[in-house]
Amino acid sequence: MSDGAKLVLASGSPRRIELLQQAGIEPCRILPADVDETPAKNEIPRSLAKRLSREKAERAAAIMAEDKTAAGAFILAADTAVAVGRRILPKATISDEAVDCLQLLSGRSHRVYTGVCVITPSGKMRQKLVETRVRFKRLSRREIDRYVASGEWRGKAGGYAIQGLAGSWVVKLVGSYTNVVGLPLYETTGLLAGDGFDVHAGWNAGA
């Protein structure tokens, strides 16, 4: 087993960092993996999330292969997609995208998929796809405009952050809440622990 093993997070997402820290795991290095996130032709949401998590992990692994200080490190990558049916919503970068997303999500259910990929120190790859169903209340144009003015939507899949103001819109959630935030903790820690990463090593750090 790998007591005190190092973890490289192939993501610069503050939310994923915070979620890992919530679970008592402190990455030894943050290594955002730059990959093209454009969906392939006819690619379905669940396939996109799984493919991008794999590509991010592989990109980080290629970089870390040249870094001797990272020997023995696990690599963790994830990608989250928000979808209505087969339609994949963008990671909103401009206000018009956020408005379009929120109008589409208003009063209906959508699905959030996160692909999680772990590459072990021995080079073995393990993946998991997690799905959560979320239903929003019907949103007025005023609510949408106020939310867009808050700026919380920037860079978020589907144009919202459930851990922020938009959490008050959730009528029903079936599945993992942390998945919607950006990293399903139960499944992620399970993948890591299954390959010998001690997910509890930092729990008594303050003792």
Q: Which residues, 6 or more positions from 71, have their beta carbon under 8 angstroms from its beta carbon?
A: 121
**In 61-145, beta strands by DSSP E:** 74-84, 87-88, 109-119, 125-136
Q: How far apart are the first and last CA of the chain?
A: 23
100 is known as an active-site residue: no
Phi, psi torsion values for 13, nearest 5 degrees:
-65, 120
Say how many residues make up the chain: 207
Q: Nearest Cα to 55, choosing from 74, 29, 36?
A: 36
- Residues 9 and 30: their CA atoms lie apart, in Å, by 5
Q: Choosing from 3, 79, 96, 145, which is the catalytic residue?
A: 79
Q: Answer for the pair 6, 70: CB distance below 8 angstroms, yes or no.
A: yes
* Residues assigned a catalytic role: 79
